[in-house]
């Protein structure tokens, strides 16, 4: 790296650091809203609105706690209680069955036996369950016939089993028992009295089998709480938080605090740190991209400063425009300029990063982000595609139309109202069209300060109707044809080495316009064997030939041709010399016995090529002129001539400042060879009598 290159890199690095600091401060200023010295219980002196969309943490927490507290207690069926209930009823009838087997052995029961039996059963039941029992119910079961008793004990057990299959709480137990007993009575009307006795037994033994499940209830409460917290209540940008004269409550104070609208005693370093971290992350990503695409960023300082200024414009303007509308974003101003100077992919990447830096100023508005992202892609493709002849109107109209369509699509998806549709489309269209009109309008001013020409300007210069090209076609048709051939050669070579093909093509159209001063003194414009040089001395001829570069520069500047093309006119012969006239001078000196002439007196008074594009045009110009003189030739001989001509330029140190590598030189040779192979291929001979 030479000293100048190192100094340029250091200058760019220092500027980038200053830009980072400036962007952080601008975004911080645009992001931090006006704040108020209020506390809970204060009376608001203003209508205060949400400056961005935020989560209502206070209300969300309240709703979540309400949802948690409204979860009903969860009861589950207890198998243990159900089994105990059935076991108790079965035991009841088992004790009665044992007594019946003792007293019913002979098949007869007198009153005395019944009394003794009932007392024995009562005592056994009380000892077993430690409860009092109805003796009349015991007597009914004790005195029933064997078949009746067997049926009743079976039904009592099966009904309990059926009841306990359900989850029955305390309030449901009695109605459930009554329903089952009524069903039994309906089906067995003759057993009504026994059914009532069974019901009394159930009332004595059966307990609700539904028990409180603490773990399940806690899980349900937590799920209800999390469901609300995971779907928080949002306060949209522009929502009124508190009105004039209203008291600041705990809820409104929390909202104002979360919106950074509550002032504290000093500078808010925490918000500054948040903004700085956010911006730095984006700049780090940008540095990674620049390192990967390093060759694309070998740009002149003038272009570098143009891009820096243009980069800062949307961010700075956004601080003020965002107060009018969250959709007034002039991002396409930077996108269009960047695409014209740096190409499609670089414009997309840098514009997206610029947009993300600007996003906090617009309160992280999703609609604005979506619309601008879509517009950035379209604008970059339209403004940066050098092969497509898009004019200024297309650069304005296509991205603007896309922005409006993106606005309509977003609002359709969001199910917006008609007023929202209209407002969004108007603001978006206004943003896009104003951004692009300003960008296109500033291009001529940018070109005054930069050494690069935008695709739009190049396309304008490439039109055959341009005054200089019309003159060249009429007054120097041979030079015009030569320039067209050079343009095609330069275009293919530039594509092969990754140079600016459109610039090479257009600059080639103008590289020899200096010949308009004396067109007949150049062989391609001579006719009928008349050569004006025959009547001139060698030095007079050399002066006319070598002066066409200076004449071309003067004519170009007079017609306001960009300086980048003027530089190509100056450099396309470098510091070489016209070999024909130098050799002729040497022969004359030798014949006269004089010293050999100084070659420096024959050289063009220009500068060697300082860019790939300028060097490519020099090589294309040299090869086209030589091969045109040689006439059609085979590809092998053609390649040998091209290599010899290019080697001559290398030997004369004409390419040392061009940034062309030897690999680039080989690609240029192959592209020239391929072009001439197509231009000189054999054609089919048509018969003389063919129509």
CATH level 3 topology of 462-679? Hypothetical protein af1432 (1.10.3210)
Residues of the chain with CATH 1.10.3210: 462-679
Which single residue is written with the structure tokens 């100056």? Answer: 570
* pLDDT at position 14 over 80: yes
pLDDT of residue 632: 59
Comparison of pLDDT for 406 and 7, the residue scoring more: 406
Please report the pLDDT score of residue 108 as a whole number.
59
Highest-scoring range by mean pLDDT, 286-290, 331-335, 460-464: 331-335
Q: Report pLDDT for 391.
A: 64
Average of pLDDT values for 485-510?
91
Query: Which 3-state string (H, E, C) describes 310-340?
Result: HHHHHHHHHHHHHHHCCCCCCHHHHHHHHHH
Report whether pLDDT(177) > 60.
yes
Alpha carbon of residue 198 to chain centroid: 77
| Residue 131's pLDDT band (cuts 50, 70, 90) | confident
3-class DSSP state for residue 249?
Answer: coil
Cβ atoms of 60 and 232 within 8 Å: the answer is yes
CA distance 514 to 571: 13
Q: Higher confidence at residue 630 or residue 86?
A: 86
510 is written with which tokens?
């103008």
pLDDT at res. 577: 86
Q: What is the largest CA-CA distance in the chain?
A: 175
The β-bridge relationship of strands 234-235 and 54-55 is antiparallel
Whether 624 shows a pLDDT value over 80: the answer reads yes
Give me the half-sphere count of Cα atoms (radius 13 Å) on the Cβ side of residue 201: 31
Tokens of 51: 């400056």
Instruction: Give the bridge partners for 643, in sequence order.
Output: none
Question: Can you say whether residue 650 is alpha, beta or left, with left for phi > 0 and alpha for psi between -120 and 50 degrees?
Answer: alpha
Question: 391 and 351 in contact (C-beta within 8 Å)?
Answer: no
| pLDDT at residue 658, rounded to an integer | 85
State how far the Cα of 674 lies from the Cα of 691, in Å rounded to an integer. 32
pLDDT value of residue 2: 44
Is the distance from CB of 367 to CB of 466 less than 8 angstroms? no
What is the residue-averaged pLDDT of the chain? 86
Instruction: Describe the chain by its helix, strand, coil percentages, rounded to 5.
Output: 70, 5, 25
pLDDT in tens, 280-295: 999 999 888 887 765 5
* Distance in angstroms (rounded) separating the CA atoms of residues 130 and 654: 121
Predicted confidence at residue 684, as pLDDT, reads: 46
* Helix ranges restricted to H, 547-633: 548-558, 563-571, 579-592, 612-630
**% of the chain exceeding 90 in pLDDT:** 38
CA distance 686 to 689: 8
pLDDT digits 0-9 by tens, 347-364: 999 999 999 999 988 888
**Beta strands in 18-133, from DSSP E residues, in sequence order:** 48-49, 54-55, 75-77
Nearest to 225 by CA among 64, 113, 433: 64
Q: Indicate the pTM of the whole model.
A: 0.58
Structure tokens at 379: 């604008």
For 239, phi and psi rounded to 5 degrees?
-70, 135
Among all chains, which residue has been given the structure tokens 């730095």?
Answer: 280
* Residue whose entry in the numeric block shows the structure tokens 């977003």: 410
Q: Return the pLDDT at 686.
A: 44
Q: Which helix (H) or strand (E) holds 289?
A: helix 269-292
Write down the pLDDT at residue 30: 83
**What counts of helices (H) and strands (E) characterise the chain?**
28, 6
Q: 292-316 pLDDT, tens per residue?
A: 765 555 566 778 888 899 999 999 9
Identify the pLDDT of residue 602. Answer: 86
Q: Half-sphere exposure of 480 toward its Cβ, with a 13 Å CA cutoff?
A: 14
pLDDT of residue 228 exceeding 60: yes
- pLDDT for 590 equals 87
What's the number of CA atoms in the CB half-sphere (13 Å) around residue 388?
14
Looking at the predicted structure, is the pLDDT value of residue 1 above 70?
Answer: no
- Alpha carbon 6 to its chain centroid, in Å, reads 35
Residue 594 pLDDT:
83
pLDDT of residue 386: 52
CB proximity list for 370: less than 8 A, separation 6 or greater: 406, 410
Segment 455-484 mean pLDDT = 88
Closest CA to 60 of 175, 178, 256, 226: 226
């Amino acid at each position: 790296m030479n000293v100048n290159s190192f100094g340029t890199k250091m200058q760019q690095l220092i500027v980038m650091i200053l830009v980072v600091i400036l962007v952080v401060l601008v975004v911080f200023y645009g992001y931090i809203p006006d704040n108020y010295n209020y506390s809970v219980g204060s009376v608001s002196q203003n209508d205060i609105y949400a400056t961005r969309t935020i989560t209502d943490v206070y209300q969300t927490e309240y709703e979540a706690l309400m949802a948690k507290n409204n979860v009903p207690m969860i009861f589950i069926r207890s198998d243990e209680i159900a089994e105990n209930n059935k076991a108790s009823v079965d035991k009841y009838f088992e004790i009665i069955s044992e007594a019946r087997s003792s007293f019913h052995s002979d098949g007869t029961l007198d009153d005395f036996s019944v009394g003794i039996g009932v007392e024995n059963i009562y005592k056994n039941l009380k000892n077993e369950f430690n409860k009092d029992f109805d003796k009349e119910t015991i007597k009914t079961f004790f005195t029933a016939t064997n078949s009746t008793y067997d049926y009743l004990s079976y039904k009592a057990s099966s009904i309990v089993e059926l009841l306990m299959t359900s989850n029955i709480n305390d309030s449901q137990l009695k109605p459930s028992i009554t329903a089952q007993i009524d069903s039994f009575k309906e089906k067995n009307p003759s057993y009504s009295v026994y059914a009532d006795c069974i019901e009394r037994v159930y009332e004595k033994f059966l307990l609700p089998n539904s028990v409180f499940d603490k773990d399940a209830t806690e899980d349900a409460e937590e799920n209800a709480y999390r469901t609300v917290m995971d779907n928080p209540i949002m306060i949209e940008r522009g929502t009124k938080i508190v009105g004039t004269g209203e008291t600041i409550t705990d809820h409104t104070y929390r909202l104002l605090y979360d919106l950074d609208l509550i002032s504290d005693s000093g500078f808010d370093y925490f918000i500054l740190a948040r903004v700085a971290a956010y911006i730095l992350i984006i700049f780090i990503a940008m540095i990674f991209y620049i390192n990967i695409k390093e060759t694309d960023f070998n740009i002149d300082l003038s272009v570098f400063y143009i891009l820096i200024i243009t980069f800062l414009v949307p961010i700075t303007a956004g601080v003020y425009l965002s107060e009018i509308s969250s959709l007034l974003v002039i991002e396409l101003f930077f996108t269009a300029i960047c695409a014209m100077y740096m190409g499609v992919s670089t414009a997309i990447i840098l514009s997206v990063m610029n947009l993300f830096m600007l996003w906090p100023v617009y309160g992280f508005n999703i609609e604005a982000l979506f619309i601008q992202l879509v517009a950035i892609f379209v604008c970059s493709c339209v403004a940066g595609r050098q092969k497509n002849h898009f004019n200024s109107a297309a650069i304005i109209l296509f991205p603007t139309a896309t922005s409006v369509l993106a606005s309509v699509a977003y609002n359709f998806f969001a199910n917006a109202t008609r007023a929202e549709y209209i407002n969004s489309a108007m603001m978006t269209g206004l943003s896009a069209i104003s951004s692009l009109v300003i960008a296109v309008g500033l291009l001529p001013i940018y070109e005054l300060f930069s050494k690069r020409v935008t695709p739009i300007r190049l396309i304008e210069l490439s039109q055959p109707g341009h005054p200089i090209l019309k003159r060249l076609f009429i007054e120097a048709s041979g030079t015009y044809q030569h320039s067209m051939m050079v343009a095609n050669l330069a275009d293919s070579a530039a594509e092969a080495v990754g140079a600016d093909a459109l610039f090479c093509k257009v600059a080639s159209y103008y590289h020899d316009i200096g010949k308009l001063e004396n067109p007949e003194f150049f062989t391609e414009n001579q006719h009928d064997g008349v050569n004006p040089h025959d009547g001139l001395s060698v030095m007079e001829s050399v002066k006319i030939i070598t002066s066409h570069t200076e004449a071309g520069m003067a004519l170009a500047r007079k017609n306001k041709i960009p300086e980048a093309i003027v530089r190509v006119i100056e450099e396309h012969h470098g510091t070489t010399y016209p070999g024909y006239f130098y050799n002729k001078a040497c022969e004359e000196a030798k014949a006269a016995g004089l010293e050999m002439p100084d070659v420096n007196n024959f050289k063009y008074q220009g500068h060697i090529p300082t860019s790939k594009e300028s060097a490519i045009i020099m090589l294309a110009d040299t090869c086209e002129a030589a091969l045109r003189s040689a006439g059609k030739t085979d590809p092998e001989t053609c390649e040998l001539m091209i290599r010899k001509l290019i080697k001559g330029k290398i030997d004369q140190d004409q390419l040392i400042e061009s940034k062309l590598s030897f690999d680039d030189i080989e690609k240029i040779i192959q592209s020239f060879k391929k072009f001439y192979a197509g231009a000189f291929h054999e054609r089919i001979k048509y018969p003389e009598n063919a129509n």
